Amino acid sequence: MSGRFHRIDDPDKFGRLLDAVLMIEADTELPVLLRHLVEEACSLVDARYGALSVLNESRTGLEEFVTVGLSEEEERQIGSWPTGRGVLHLPTPLRVKDLAAHPAAGGFPPHHPKMTSFLGVPVCVRGEIYGNLYVTDKQSADEFSEEDEAMAAGLALAAGICIENTRLHDLMRLLSVLNDRDRIARDLHDRIIQRVFAVGMMLQGTLGLPELAQVFKKIDRAIDELDNTVTEIRTAIFELGSGMGPHGLRQRVLDLVEGLTSMLGSRPEVTFHGPIDGGLSQDIADNVIAVMREALTNTAKHAHATRIRVTLTVGDNVQLDIADDGSGMKVPNGNGNGNGLGLTNLANRARGLGGTFEVAAAEGGGTRVLWRVPC
């Protein structure tokens, strides 16, 4: 800044400045926000032309250059962006009555419209410069005023916050993807690769079987296992491509499984189907986690299971399917009432959301819990 602050006395201009600054909270793409801020700058200070430059993160060139006032044909004839030198590289605000006469001016490229009065301010946040905001050719006076400079500085600060927020969000998404890659790599090694190896051993074992019927049975089982493996691979790809943050339902499910593994004795196999983080209400997501926690805790206390499978599916309904190969339990009415295992609470949660809850014997032994509610 220039070391002074000029008060903006016009309430209408101050209100418009405030509205423009508040635009930074809108869920809008960065180029659209920056163009809006340049347009407001031109309107508030009565400038014919405006521009905003954004330096790349290495400060070696421009990442963006947004212009207002030039026609598409003028921009095409001017050609490439400026290099960001001379008066277009400003560490502090600059007001000039005649741009062509300024000693730092580098001249205009061919086909560039003539510009006289000039106002430029740095786009910066906490002392870090991200670029510059420029306006030229004040239409109602020969030069820009201190009030014009104050308004341009306010809009430049808003632009700096927009740029900083966008880069921080990009960094967070990158870190999230890297963390997901590490986790998915572990899952591929711990579950999927081992399952493929087991299928290979199963098929190899068919070579010594004496009867063709036994061979067909082994092959059918191998096909089922490969189908499940393909589903898990697709799930891993979906997780990697979703770009969801660390607090989505998918991650909450995985964190819960990780936290209960020591109590369960082995890590449950988790499979996702559908857009798990694609718009479920917080209430439903919280209920899914609560139901899953209680069901797995019951499994740990009573089932003595060696294998647990958790499947969460999101479509027209949200369905949580938890099956184990444990000792099973007697459930006379199929809804968990009266068995002393706390399953009544799970049934009540389902009914409260217009859904259903079932407990039944799992195929091949053990117990299956099926909790389903509409989205």
Whole-number mean pLDDT of the chain? Answer: 77
pLDDT at 326: 82
pLDDT at 344: 80
Lowest mean pLDDT segment, chosen from 40-49, 271-280, 289-298 = 271-280
Q: What is the mean pLDDT of residues 198-216?
A: 75
Lowest mean pLDDT segment, chosen from 39-48, 103-112, 305-314, 335-344 = 335-344
- Cα dihedral 309, 314, 320, 324, rounded to 10, equals -10
Q: What is the mean pLDDT of residues 12-18?
A: 70
pLDDT at 373: 93
Lowest mean pLDDT segment, chosen from 81-85, 98-102, 228-232, 357-361 = 81-85
158 and 132 in contact (C-beta within 8 Å)?
no
pLDDT at 162: 84
Q: How confident is the model at residue 176 (pLDDT cuts 50, 70, 90)?
A: low
pLDDT at 4: 43
pLDDT at 338: 42
pLDDT digits (tens, 9 = 90+) for 98-143: 887 776 665 566 667 888 899 999 998 777 888 899 999 999 999 9
**In the predicted model, is pLDDT for residue 361 greater than 80?**
yes
pLDDT at 133: 93
347 and 335 in contact (C-beta within 8 Å)?
yes
Lowest mean pLDDT segment, chosen from 10-19, 280-289, 363-372 = 10-19
**In the predicted model, is pLDDT for residue 154 greater than 50?**
yes
375 and 316 in contact (C-beta within 8 Å)?
yes
Q: What is the mean pLDDT of residues 18-24?
A: 68
Q: Write a three-state SS string for 231-292.
A: HHHHHHHHHHHHCCCCCCHHHHHHHHHHHHHHHHCCCCEEEEECCCCCCCCHHHHHHHHHHH
Q: What is the mean pLDDT of residues 68-97?
A: 74
**In the predicted model, is pLDDT for residue 48 greater than 90?**
yes
Domains present along the chain, CATH in parentheses = 11-170 (3.30.450.40), 245-375 (3.30.565.10)
| DSSP 8-state code for residue 26 | S
pLDDT at 112: 75
Phi–psi pair at 38, nearest 5 degrees? -70, -40
pLDDT at 135: 94
The token pair that represents 146 in the structure block: 């201190």
Give the sign of the dihedral formed by CA 43, CA 44, CA 50, CA 53: negative
Burial class (CB in 10 A: 0-12, 13-18, 19+), 4: exposed
- State the Cα–Cα distance between residues 323 and 305, nearest whole angstrom: 10
**In the predicted model, is pLDDT for residue 330 greater than 70?**
no
Q: What is the mean pLDDT of residues 270-297?
A: 84
pTM of the model: 0.45
pLDDT > 90 in the chain, percent:
14
37 and 132 in contact (C-beta within 8 Å)?
no
Higher pLDDT among residues 167 and 278, named by residue:
167
**In the predicted model, is pLDDT for residue 199 greater than 70?**
yes
